[in-house]
């Protein structure tokens, strides 16, 4: 079954994931978890309630007490598991995927994510075998409204936010709910797009990492005179920012901003993924932190954050993880932290960012390659004089430029990230690597 991914379970509703599949996953999760109480929430997709109901049926068959937290963002699901001391949770969501998809994000106690290496592979085996017998007595389900506690949790981190004008594009996803719950409590003026929850995503796909999905937000920022803009993905666990001029802020630079805000009063390890600019570890050290480089993937960063007792972590894809948030990712907390930094800075966002925009990056570029492992080996052999590591794919580093090429965890692609410390080094390095990888694809 191709629905079991590196970090979650995801597929087309009705064909790859049926209601029977959802129920079997619930029964398997109950057997895997060997716990008592779990939280279950869902996003705004039209099939979400049916999928959740089938999933809960399987969890109850496995003897679990299910707390139904309703229509919630993924960070709200993480909060429920951590705050109420539950043994785990499942969020019914397909994140930024189109409307036809559904899926499940799984956690254990403490909001610790369950990935392929820590449980999804085992849950897959349990799902594919003949159904286990029902546990007697069967479990129960009851509603739990977490909103008051969740709002208090986020606002506890919001001290110091000043009067700013914020533009939000929620992409008709769960970021609209987060915006409506949190921002009215802050001294900010709001200009908003697509707050209404609509799982058909009528305006644009809910993936803010793609520049075309930020066009509406950029226009809104320029038209309204906002101090900054933020775009959420479908389940509101990722955020991408633009400055007051409409300039896109890459998410490694947002992690650097978070370091500038968080580390002065709370020094410690900061985990980041290896696609990030060299600016990021430089800033982390400058502000008293210890940079820790990790492979790509939220499960890997969260695990490393916990093992290192890290202060926070940031991923190039727009996930931001906070110790005060059970080590889990939260787009709205990232927004709160950026607002605090800008409130203190007292100058435009673009001016705060200017010193960080000192190197030259490709961003993530995708390539369709028939034999990915062979191509990665070819790249490693083509740069024998560079500093090479294989933490995730292949990374080759020189004093004035570097690149990483890795296999996508979710798509049949190789992904390139390349940076030059000078424009000349950037162009020369890119030409050498592109000659081996071929023509990029728009994926």
Question: Which positions are catalytic?
Answer: 95
Phi/psi at 159 (nearest 5 deg)?
A: -60, 135
Helix intervals (H) in 34-119: 48-61, 74-83
Alpha-carbon gap, residue 390 to 392, rounded angstroms: 5
3-state class (DSSP) for residue 105? strand
In 325-428, DSSP assigns E strands to 360-361, 365-367, 387-389, 394-397, 401-407, 414-420
Question: DSSP characters for 258-296?
Answer: HHHHHGGGS--EEEEETTS-THHHHHHHHTT-EEEEE-S
Measured CA distances, 278 to 321, 359, 404, 406, 415 (Å): 20, 8, 13, 18, 18
Phi–psi pair at 253, nearest 5 degrees: -70, -35
Residue 375, C-beta contacts closer than 8 angstroms, at least 6 positions apart: 369, 405, 414, 436, 437
Tokens 């694809």, residue located: 441
Half-sphere exposure of 251 (CA within 13 A, CB side): 28
Q: How far apart are CA 207 and CA 255, in angstroms?
A: 19
How many whole angstroms separate alpha carbon 373 and alpha carbon 358? 33
H helix intervals, 156-272: 175-182, 215-224, 251-262
Closest CA to 141 of 55, 67, 49, 80: 67
Phi-psi region of 157 (alpha: psi -120 to 50; beta: other; left: phi over 0): alpha
Q: What gap in Å lies between CA 326 and CA 328, rounded to an integer?
A: 5
Cβ-Cβ contacts under 8 Å for 156 (sequence gap 6 or more): none
């Amino acid at each position: 079954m191709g629905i079991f991914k590196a970090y979650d379970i995801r597929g087309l509703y009705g064909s790859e994931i049926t209601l029977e599949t959802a129920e079997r996953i619930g029964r398997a999760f109950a057997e895997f978890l060997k716990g008592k109480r779990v939280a279950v929430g869902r996003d705004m997709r039209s099939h979400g309630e049916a999928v959740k109901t089938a999933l809960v049926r399987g969890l109850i068959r496995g003897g679990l007490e299910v707390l139904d937290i309703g229509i919630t963002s993924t960070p709200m699901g993480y909060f429920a598991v951590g705050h109420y001391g539950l043994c785990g949770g499942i969020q019914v969501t397909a994140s930024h995927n189109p409307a036809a998809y559904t899926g499940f994000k799984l956690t254990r106690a403490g909001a610790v994510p369950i990935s392929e290496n820590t449980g999804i592979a085992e849950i897959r085996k349990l799902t594919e075998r003949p159904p286990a017998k029902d546990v007697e007595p069967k479990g129960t389900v009851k509603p739990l409204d977490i909103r008051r506690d969740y709002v208090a949790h986020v606002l506890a981190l919001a001290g110091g936010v000043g009067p700013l004008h914020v533009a939000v594009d929620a992409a008709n996803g769960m970021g609209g709910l987060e915006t409506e719950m949190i921002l009215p409590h802050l001294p900010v003026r709001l200009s908003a797009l697509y707050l209404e929850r609509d799982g058909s995503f009528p305006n644009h796909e809910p993936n803010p990492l793609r520049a075309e999905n930020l066009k509406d937000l950029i226009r809104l920022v320029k038209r309204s005179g906002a101090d900054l803009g933020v775009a959420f993905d479908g389940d509101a666990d990722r955020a991408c920012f633009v400055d007051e001029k409409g300039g896109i802020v890459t998410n490694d630079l947002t992690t650097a901003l978070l370091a500038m805000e968080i580390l002065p009063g709370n020094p410690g390890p900061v985990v980041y993924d290896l696609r990030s600019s060299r600016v990021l570890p430089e800033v982390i050290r400058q502000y008293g932190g210890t940079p820790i480089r990790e492979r790509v993937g939220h499960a890997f960063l969260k695990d490393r954050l916990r093992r290192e007792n890290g202060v926070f972590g940031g991923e190039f894809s727009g996930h931001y993880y906070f110790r005060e948030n059970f080590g889990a990712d939260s787009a709205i907390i990232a927004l709160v932290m950026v607002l605090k930094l800008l409130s203190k800075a007292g100058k435009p966002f673009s001016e705060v960012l200017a010193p960080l925009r000192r190197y030259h990056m490709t961003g993530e570029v995708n390539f369709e390659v028939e034999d990915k492992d062979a191509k990665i080996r070819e790249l490693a052999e083509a740069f024998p004089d560079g500093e090479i590591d294989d933490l995730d794919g292949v990374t080759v580093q020189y004093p004035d430029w570097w690149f990483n090429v890795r296999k996508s965890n979710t798509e049949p692609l190789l992904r390139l990230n390349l940076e030059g410390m000078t424009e000349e080094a950037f162009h020369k390095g890119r030409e050498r690597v592109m000659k081996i990888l071929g023509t990029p694809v728009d994926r």
